[in-house]
């Protein structure tokens, strides 16, 4: 799922325009963003704190199994990278299949 400081209304507009069907969660005061250590202070509108782009893969026990912290806004995670990582983890038995 996706997490940002956007309001639910703003996320709804994004989901509708892009056809996203996975959950979009709203973290308006960036508490969760801060808890994961991915805050980008004062980078938003009017100097608001926002999230830096980051992805975490959490297994069913609640442990972070993989993460991606880009150093370049333009170089984003590709879906095939995630499926590749998941396949590798399934093979390792780190994440049991359903």
Partner 1 sequence: MLGYNQFRGVIVKRRWNWLVWLGFAMAILAAYSYLFLFIRFPITRDFPWVNLTLFLVAGCLLGVGLYRAFAQPGQYRGRVSGPILAVLSLGILGLFYYGTFYLARHLPPGENALRVGQPAPDFALADIDGRMVTLSQLRQGKRAVLLIFYRGYW
Residues contacting partner 1: total by CB under 8 A: 67
User: CB within 8 A of 6, min separation 6: which ones?
Assistant: 14, 24, 26
Looking up tokens 């399934």 gives 90
**Contact flag: residue 58 with partner 1 (CB under 8 A):** yes
Binder of partner 1 out of 18, 64, 84, 87 (CB under 8 A)? 64
Cα angle 1-31-10, degrees, rounded to a multiple of 5: 50
Question: What residues line the site for partner 1 (CB under 8 A)?
Answer: 1-6, 8-12, 14-15, 23-27, 31-33, 35-41, 43-45, 48, 50-60, 62-67, 69-78, 82, 86, 89-90, 95-98
């Amino acid at each position: 799922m996706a997490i940002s400081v956007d309001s639910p209304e703003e996320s709804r507009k994004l989901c509708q325009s892009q056809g996203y069907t996975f959950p979009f969660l709203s973290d308006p005061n960036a508490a969760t963003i801060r808890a994961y250590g991915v805050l980008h202070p004062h980078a938003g509108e009017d100097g608001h704190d926002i999230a830096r782009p980051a992805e975490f893969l959490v297994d069913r026990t609640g442990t972070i199994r993989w993460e991606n912290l880009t150093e370049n806004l333009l170089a984003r995670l590709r879906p095939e990278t995630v499926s590749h990582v998941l396949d590798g983890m399934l093979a390792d038995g780190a994440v049991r299949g359903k």
